[in-house]
Structure 1
């Protein structure tokens, strides 16, 4: 966990003073909140103030500062923006992530836990303990706000995790707003963090008599859920392996969108669409069984906020030839200010093993969306191998552990 010393140095004095006042820290009237340019002397002065508190209170306040420091980075700021936008909390004009987190700690303490959960989910997106699932678009709304569905889903999660009936649990449902970093489009996300009381652990600690004693520490396990009804995507963060996450996704579909088919896990990789700015050389090997590959559509977004979509219609020219013939140097592929935000590929497979020729259609969207998971597992592995070879998706991330257990 990050040290809170750097957090204190960067936090605005106008927020630090009321933070410590609200926590009944006795601060002298002449305390210099801008001391020594916020160097080591300033941190030592704060530590001296904390050292005057009773031991238990001192530990609690330092733990709170450590938590704030652990999420005071770029990802924590994005998480705060998402959560605050979903909760209608205005953070416009605040002086950076330290100012935002201190404001939340003062005025919206529950939101800090949500920001911490969202930050953890972001950091683990694409890694071990995390999975994203695509549900079919059947045109029917999800019952995300149905209390009965939420209760039933919680019961299923407890059963999936094999939680004993006497263990305490709590589900925190909330709304956040995610913004596409290129187009600025907003998507409303319904999130849940399920807190489950885990088995207690025995640890050594000093007791009232100043001697080492063995204490039981009650642990809590978190399960994270993020639902995007527009894209029909559900993200699950849960320890216990692929089976646990698959079962959580299946339970979600059963209770919130019973009309849909079983959700399909979708790998999450950064999409590298700049590769398609020039007509690509799709390297094909004989073992692939591919007759040809074409880019059948390109979507563009301009710095002025305009969208443009071009689709290949005729068989006599590629989409690149069309854009060059029609627009020349003014083509969005050549002129400045245009970014490729989506592309569709068609992969034409040769007849094989007595089967007819078929076509795999794959759509890629920034920053990390792909329709590859809508294929069979064999097709998904095959297509992702091709996309990596063609430098259209980033390499897979190294495995990461799930959201940490917390006391």
Structure 2
């Protein structure tokens, strides 16, 4: 498609010289080609929003694609579509994954911080994981499949800290569908086309969290998590599902009243560490070391009014709680450790489902996590 080099770029809005030139070029194409071009332009327009721009900022730097100097999301999308088609598709998939994070087709799984590295770059492990994914989908082995592995950068909403994720999108040929269309004979025909299923995986080795975005319900996502554990972290304990809930760390700006009931079986609760972020860009971390005083007493004794709890310009961005369980049935006391990170990360003790539910109940009671949001009805673009 040839186009002139002397558009009136300063024009704006419908009916301007620039738009007229574009429409003129499209009108000169054959009818079927016009439809194809307009369909592509409609697709670009559907992606032109701030969420997609954020996704481009997550994906493009790890691929060596510089977005500096580009003017807005439309400029970014057009550049990617023309020069980096693979990056363009990754950005679209990333936007879909970001939009569904925390929704009904998404789950996050927390591994123990046991110091054992994940084999995320092992090609054999990747191939075995994709093979298991096909089995989980319960589709015939002859169905076409493709897995796109790539790296993305997630930026912390408060601190601006960057975390590199390893992500994968698994595409699988789904069962065929059909629709009416006008065929070569110009009459109505029923056309059969092959649909594509997508499964999204986001791995955060720093926080030992794996996020899985896939339809099919909790049971299916549990199976994906088990397959991930088997192939990429065989030496670690299997993960537990962790909720994506907003954490309410301002509750910890003063010594909380950790109310417990006899049925909880909790002996005591303590804040063992607090992490602070300054509006000027500074970080501070305080940990409780002795049994003689709480972390709040220590900060008051040593820092008084300049403590980040009392001084202005500091936010709590992370906190760790130690929940000491009373000994029961001749068993020794044990400790459940949970870390809360702003804005919405909660580590859950990698123990039993009973422990997990107890911790969630306690965090809600202590006003440290927000109630679960109602499930939105999300309709994905076909």
- Is the TM-score greater than 0.5? yes
Structure 1 residues 150 and 361 mapped into 2: Cα distance closer, same or farther (>3 Å)? closer
What's the counterpart of residue 371 of structure 2?
395
Single out whichever of 352-361 and 258-267 deviates more from structure 2.
Answer: 352-361
1:1-30 C-alpha deviation (Å, 9 max, x unpaired) = xxxxxxxxxxxxxxxxxxxxxxx2x65677
What's the counterpart of residue 141 of structure 1?
117
Single out whichever of 355-364 and 294-303 deviates more from structure 2.
Answer: 355-364
Question: Where in structure 2 are the equivalents of 1:125-274 lying within 5 Å?
Answer: 125-274=101-250
In 1: Cα distance, 2:44 partner to 2:262 partner: 55
Structure 1 residues 64 and 390 mapped into 2: Cα distance closer, same or farther (>3 Å)? farther
Deviation, 1:127, is 1.1
In 1: Cα distance, 2:103 partner to 2:54 partner: 19
In 2: Cα distance, 1:135 partner to 1:284 partner: 27
What's the counterpart of residue 313 of structure 2?
337
Count of equivalent residues: 381
In 2: Cα distance, 1:288 partner to 1:69 partner: 53
Deviation, 1:108, is 0.5
Deviation, 1:288, is 3.8
Structure 1 residues 168 and 52 mapped into 2: Cα distance closer, same or farther (>3 Å)? same
Higher-helix-fraction structure? 1
What's the counterpart of residue 345 of structure 2?
369
Q: Which of 20, 27, 38 is equivalent to 2:13?
A: 38
Single out whichever of 391-400 and 330-339 deviates more from structure 2.
Answer: 391-400
Cα pair 1:127 1:401 within 8 Å, conserved = no
Cα pair 1:349 1:359 within 8 Å, conserved = yes
1:65-101 C-alpha deviation (Å, 9 max, x unpaired) = 3333333323212211111121121112322222222
In 2: Cα distance, 1:252 partner to 1:403 partner: 27
Structure 1 residues 54 and 361 mapped into 2: Cα distance closer, same or farther (>3 Å)? same
Cα pair 2:178 2:190 within 8 Å, conserved = yes
Question: Where in structure 2 are the equivalents of 1:38-187 lying within 5 Å?
Answer: 38-39=13-14, 45=20, 46=22, 49-187=25-163
Structure 1 residues 278 and 156 mapped into 2: Cα distance closer, same or farther (>3 Å)? same
1:132-183 C-alpha deviation (Å, 9 max, x unpaired) = 1122333332222222221111111111111212321111111112222333
In 1: Cα distance, 2:191 partner to 2:287 partner: 66
Deviation, 1:282, is 3.6
Q: Which of 298, 301, 304 is equivalent to 2:277?
A: 301
Unaligned runs of at least 5 residues, structure 2: none
Deviation, 1:292, is 4.3
Deviation, 1:244, is 1.7
Deviation, 1:287, is 4.6
SS at match of 2:245: coil
SS at match of 1:248: helix
Structure 1 residues 40 and 363 mapped into 2: Cα distance closer, same or farther (>3 Å)? farther
In 1: Cα distance, 2:241 partner to 2:143 partner: 30
Deviation, 1:329, is 2.0
In 2: Cα distance, 1:389 partner to 1:55 partner: 64
* Structure 2 residue 340 is the aligned partner of structure 1 residue 327: no
Unaligned runs of at least 5 residues, structure 1: 1-23
Deviation, 1:34, is 3.8
Structure 1 residues 44 and 286 mapped into 2: Cα distance closer, same or farther (>3 Å)? farther
Structure 1 residues 297 and 102 mapped into 2: Cα distance closer, same or farther (>3 Å)? same
